[in-house]
Amino acid sequence: MSSIKMNSCNSNNGESKNGTSNSLSSVNHDLGLYFLELARLGSAKAPTEMEEDEEEAPKELNTINSSGGFLFVATDKLSVKYTSVNLHGHDVGVVQANKPAPVKRLLYYFEIYVKDAGAKGQIAIGFTQESFKMRRQPGWEANSFGYHGDDGFLYRGHGKGEAFGPTYTTGDTVGGGINYASQEFFFTKNGTIVGTVCMVKEIKGPLFPTVAVHSLNEEVHVNFGQKKFAFDLKEYEAQERLKHQMTIEKISLPPNISYGLVRSYLLHYGYEDTLNSFDLASKSTVPPIYIAKENGFDEQDIVYALNQRKTLRQLIRNGEIDAAISKLRDWYPQIVQEEKSATCFLLHCQKFIELVRVGALEEAVKYGRMELAKFVELDGFNDLVQDCGALLAYERPQESSVGYLLEESQRDVVADTVNAMILSTNPNMKDLQGCLHSYLEKLLRQLTACCLERRSANGDQGEAFHLHRVLNSVTGLVVLSSIWSRAPPWIQFYQLYSEDSYHLLSFDCWKEILFRGTSDSGMLLKN
């Protein structure tokens, strides 16, 4: 999101005390640059969620950093055998994975299969830091955890164990995992959860999956996911997500709050027809829904010029740019009076794009020479001018590197620009930020900040929060369908009949998102 600094609108319609329009020009400049930056973002291929979240996971054992004098690691780097004689407590054969456990996910898990419990069955599985003493059992030293096979005890940071689970021996499969959402370690035996233990906040730095053997002929095989686990990790993950979902569903969201948020969204973006249908549906609820001003919704600013904003949005989204410019000149000439403004530039770019879209290439060339050429030498404009011109070079421009210009989202950027510019002409608009985002979007931005803050408090562990992933996930659809029967009639009506339903989900689905990670009100941001 652009970090452009914007000035606040004056209450005298942007005019200074001496009657000049310097303030209005400054406002238009700031707003225009904001949306110009949004348009420019489309040209940069954003990394996919997989690329953003991708971490290199452990694949084998680290044969360099291990207590090699007491164990033998097979050539596959996945099998470990104790080959020495256990004379005292420091003769432990310890080996870590070649990489630390990935942290940008809900869960991490690995398993060992005990091929031979050896003389004493003193096998252990756990997690340790890279600097861990490699002649000590995991859990015997600070910043380490270990589940031991000979006594079934859990050791966490000192030599004294605590009763935890059953012992394990030859033929058993044992697993160790990290639940980053609950900040817990968990261990399994033969596909069943043994128990969980809270991660201590004092543990710093990455944790490595670790295996230890401590008596003659003990031998284990390690599975980092190269083959199917004995434990159903996918089912466990689904259960963990369901727990979180059930917690969310217990939260009661007052109908007037959800109603106000959706209504303010429709008002802000000028969806007048949908707004009328939405209001009609809300009156059929029993009892009818009314929203009070004390709940924080002030519609005065966003009701401004609703019909004109609706008309202009429809024209731009239909590709009728000439008609939109004509309407602007009639209704709000101050917005387009500066020919080299960012708003005029985006409108001219969109006109050029629409000509290319319908195959009128000669007309597009003439229009580009007449209107776009004047922006070539201006800072901040040339890159988009070049991208527009590049559309002419491709037989199938939709499939090219500049094909983003032909997407519907590009029309929306231009429509949002014009919408914000009109809102900025409202003499009662006190805060320019109100021209840019609806209350709903501000709440979602706050939600994202809260989720990032909570993740930071957990040492940046756990799944990275992606709002679009949540909205577009299969889980979101399942949630929506599962609670559909409880949705008020106005929610169902809006979902079924909205002219712009692709912009919003049913608000019960928003409820899931709105309260994700915001149970601590102290984390809510002011802006």
**Same structural domain, 207 and 316:** no
Q: At 210, is the secondary structure helix, strand, or coil?
A: strand
Q: What is the pLDDT of residues 358-413, one digit of tens each?
A: 999 999 999 999 999 999 988 889 999 999 999 999 999 999 999 999 999 999 99
Rounded-to-integer distance, Cα 398 and Cα 296, Å: 43
Does 278 or 492 have the greater pLDDT score? 278
| 85 part of a folded domain | yes
**Same structural domain, 241 and 277:** no
Instruction: Report the pLDDT value the prediction gives residue 78, as an integer from 0 to 100.
Output: 96
Q: Strands across the sheet with 162-163, in order?
A: 61-66, 93-97, 208-213, 124-128, 144-148, 153-156, 162-163
Statement: residue 504 has pLDDT above 70: no
Q: What is the mean pLDDT of residues 79-86?
A: 85
| 467 part of a folded domain | no
Pick from 393, 377, 384: which is nearest to 345 by CA? Answer: 384
Choose the final residue of a domain: 246, 279, 314: 246
Q: With bands split at pLDDT 50, 70 and 90, how would you rate the model's confidence at 29?
A: low
Q: What is the pLDDT of residues 143-170, one digit of tens each?
A: 899 999 999 999 998 878 999 999 999 9
Lowest mean pLDDT among 363-367, 422-426, 518-522: 518-522
CB 242 within 8 A of CB 170: no
| 316 part of a folded domain | yes
**Same structural domain, 315 and 338:** yes
Does 187 or 183 have the greater pLDDT score? 187
Lowest mean pLDDT among 37-41, 453-457, 507-511: 507-511
CB 298 within 8 A of CB 431: no
Q: What is the mean pLDDT of residues 254-263?
A: 80
Q: What is the mean pLDDT of residues 267-283?
A: 87
**DSSP 8-state code for residue 428:** T
Lowest mean pLDDT among 12-26, 200-214, 293-307, 383-397: 12-26
**Same structural domain, 290 and 385:** no
Q: Strands across the sheet with 71-73, in order?
A: 71-73, 79-82, 219-223, 107-116, 173-179, 184-189, 192-198
**Same structural domain, 166 and 241:** yes
Lowest mean pLDDT among 109-123, 292-306, 465-479: 465-479
Rounded-to-integer distance, Cα 319 and Cα 314, Å: 9
Instruction: Report the pLDDT value the prediction gives residue 192, as an integer from 0 to 100.
Output: 97
**Same structural domain, 154 and 234:** yes
Does 319 or 30 have the greater pLDDT score? 319
Statement: residue 11 has pLDDT above 50: no
Statement: residue 89 has pLDDT above 50: yes
Lowest mean pLDDT among 296-305, 459-468, 479-488: 479-488
Instruction: Report the pLDDT value the prediction gives residue 307, as an integer from 0 to 100.
Output: 95
Does 230 or 206 have the greater pLDDT score? 230
Instruction: Report the pLDDT value the prediction gives residue 391, as an integer from 0 to 100.
Output: 96
CB 290 within 8 A of CB 259: no
Does 188 or 261 have the greater pLDDT score? 188
Q: What is the pLDDT of residues 34-70, one digit of tens each?
A: 888 888 776 655 444 444 457 899 999 998 877 667 7
| 16 part of a folded domain | no
CB 387 within 8 A of CB 43: yes
Pick from 7, 507, 447, 4: which is nearest to 263 by CA? Answer: 507
Pick from 43, 51, 32: which is nearest to 407 by CA? Answer: 43
Does 482 or 430 have the greater pLDDT score? 430
Q: With bands split at pLDDT 50, 70 and 90, how would you rate the model's confidence at 253?
A: confident
Instruction: Report the pLDDT value the prediction gives residue 282, as an integer from 0 to 100.
Output: 77
**Same structural domain, 393 and 509:** yes
Give the pTM. Answer: 0.69
**Same structural domain, 141 and 163:** yes
Mean model confidence pLDDT for the chain:
80
First-to-last CA distance in the chain? 15
Q: How many domains does the chain have?
A: 3
Q: Which domain holds residue 270?
A: 257-294
Does 511 or 83 have the greater pLDDT score? 83
Q: With bands split at pLDDT 50, 70 and 90, how would you rate the model's confidence at 464?
A: confident
**What CATH number does the domain containing 225 carry?**
2.60.120.920
Structure token digits, residue 138: 């995991």
Structure token digits, residue 94: 């310890």
Structure token digits, residue 148: 């031991």
| 425 part of a folded domain | yes
**Same structural domain, 289 and 213:** no
Relative orientation angle of helices 342-357 and 22-41, to the nearest 10 degrees: 40
Q: With bands split at pLDDT 50, 70 and 90, how would you rate the model's confidence at 181?
A: confident
Specify the residue for token string 């019909």: 307
**Same structural domain, 207 and 280:** no
**Same structural domain, 177 and 268:** no
Rounded-to-integer distance, Cα 453 and Cα 448, Å: 9
| 151 part of a folded domain | yes
Statement: residue 114 has pLDDT above 90: yes
| 195 part of a folded domain | yes
**Same structural domain, 264 and 314:** no
Length of the chain equals 527
Lowest mean pLDDT among 49-58, 177-186, 328-337: 49-58
| 492 part of a folded domain | yes
Instruction: Report the pLDDT value the prediction gives residue 523, as an integer from 0 to 100.
Output: 33
Kindly report the backbone phi and psi dihedral angles of residue 61, in degrees, each rounded to the nearest multiple of 5, phi listed first. Answer: -90, 150
| Greatest mean pLDDT among 23-32, 117-126, 515-524 | 117-126
Q: At 104, is the secondary structure helix, strand, or coil?
A: coil
